[in-house]
Amino acid sequence: MAHVLGQNQYGKAENRIVRVYRDSTRHEIKDLNVSVSLRGDFEDVHLTGSNANCLPTDTTKNTVYAFAKEHGIDSAEGFGVLLARHFVDSTERGVVRSARIRIEEYGWERIKTPDSSSRFIGSEEVGHSFVRKGQEVRTTEVVYDGDRFRVVSGLKDLVVMNTTNSEFWGYIKDRYTTLQEAYDRILATQVTARWAFGFHGRDGEPEPNWNRSYQQVRRHLLEAFAETYSYSLQQTLHAMGTRVLNNRAEVDEVRLELPNKHHFLVDLEPFGLKNDNEVYFAADRMYGLIEGTVHREGVTPVIPVA
C-alpha cells in the first residue's frame, strides 16, 4: 500500500531574545519569544534524506538574533513581517513558499526610587533597572506566502474583574440544574484576544502603526468590559469585539476566549456572620469557557479556533 507525505513544516521554536538599547543612560528593552515555521519544497528531506532544500533550524535561530541587531525591534508585528519576508523572498532557489512567525512579547516597567533630593517628595526612574510587568503577554502571528501577509495580533493572561453590574438569570433549567440565579455578581475573566488586520502588504501598502494599534485595541477591550452592564459573559464578549471594530479601522476580526473565573459567596452563617456580597471563594477550576468571533460584514474570518 502506497503512503503519501502530507502537510509538513519545520522551524525553530521559542527563540528567547532580549534586545537592549543603550543609546542613552535611559535604556530601552524588548523581550520576545520568537517561533519560526517554514513550509515549502521539503519532500526530499523527508523521503530521500537529501538536505539540499533544507534551511537548518539553527540558521533560522541565528537570523532572529542577527535581525534584532541589524534592524532593531520596534514592534512584534514589524519584526515578524521582516523575518517572514526574509525567509520566503531570500532563501536560495525559493524553496520556502510560506513562513509563519509567532511572537510573544513580555512587558517591563522601570523601577522608581525616591528622589535623591528628598526622601519624602517625588520619585525618579532608574534608567537601567526594570521590573517585569505582571499583566498580559502580547502576541502576534505573521504568515507570508510571497504574495500577501496575514497578521494576527493579540494578548493573553489579561485578568479583569467587575465587582458589580453583572447578572445571570432566566436560563434553561432542568432536573440537573443547581445554579442559583444571580442579580448582582462578580464578573471576572482572563482575556485571550486575537485580532486580524486588513493589511496584506501588497503594492507598497503601508504597515499600520503596530504599537499604537495594540495599545488602542487593548484600551477598547478594557473599556467595553468595564462599561457594559452584563447579563452574560457572552454579551460582554460581543460588546468587547464590537467596540474594537467600531473604533479601529485597521482591524477586520476579533476573536475572544473568556474563561469565567467564578467567585462564589462564602457561607458565613455558621460563624454568626452575614455575608453581604463581601467575601467570596475564587475558584480556578472548573470554569465556563466562553469563546466567539466578531468580524466585519463581508469579511471571511481567518483566525482559527485555538
On whether the CB atoms of residues 265 and 213 are closer than 8 A, the answer is no
Q: Find all residues with CB under 8 Å of 230, minimum gap 6, and list them.
A: 162, 165, 166, 167, 187, 236
Residue type, 86: H
Q: Is 177 annotated as a binding residue?
A: no
Tell me, yes or no, if 262 is annotated catalytic: yes
Among the listed residues 27, 57, 59, 238, the single catalytic one is 57
Q: Is 260 annotated as a binding residue?
A: yes
Among the listed residues 30, 220, 261, 262, the single catalytic one is 262
Tell me, yes or no, if 274 is annotated catalytic: no
Q: Is 157 annotated as a binding residue?
A: no
On whether the CB atoms of residues 41 and 35 are closer than 8 A, the answer is no
Residue type, 54: C
Pairing of strands 280-282, 187-197: unpaired
Q: Is 57 annotated as a binding residue?
A: yes
Grid-cell match 528567547, residue found: 16
* Rounded-to-integer distance, Cα 237 and Cα 290, Å: 8
Q: Is 192 annotated as a binding residue?
A: no
Secondary structure letter of residue 93 according to DSSP: G
Among the listed residues 12, 30, 220, 295, the single catalytic one is 12
* Rounded-to-integer distance, Cα 147 and Cα 226, Å: 40
Q: Is 234 annotated as a binding residue?
A: yes
**How many helices (H) does the chain have, and how many strands (E)?**
5, 12
Which run of H or of E encompasses 150?
strand 149-162
The CA radius of gyration of the chain, in Å to the nearest whole number, is 24
Grid-cell match 470554569, residue found: 287
Tell me, yes or no, if 220 is annotated catalytic: no
DSSP for 229-269, written as a single string: -BS-HHHHHHHHHHHHHHH-TTEEEEEEEEEE--EEE---G
Residue ranges of the annotated binding site for O2 are 57, 260
Residue ranges of the annotated binding site for 5-hydroxyisourate are 57, 168, 185, 234, 260
Residue ranges of the annotated binding site are 57-58, 168, 185, 234, 260
Residue ranges of the annotated binding site for urate are 57-58, 168, 185, 234, 260
Active-site residue set: 12, 57, 262
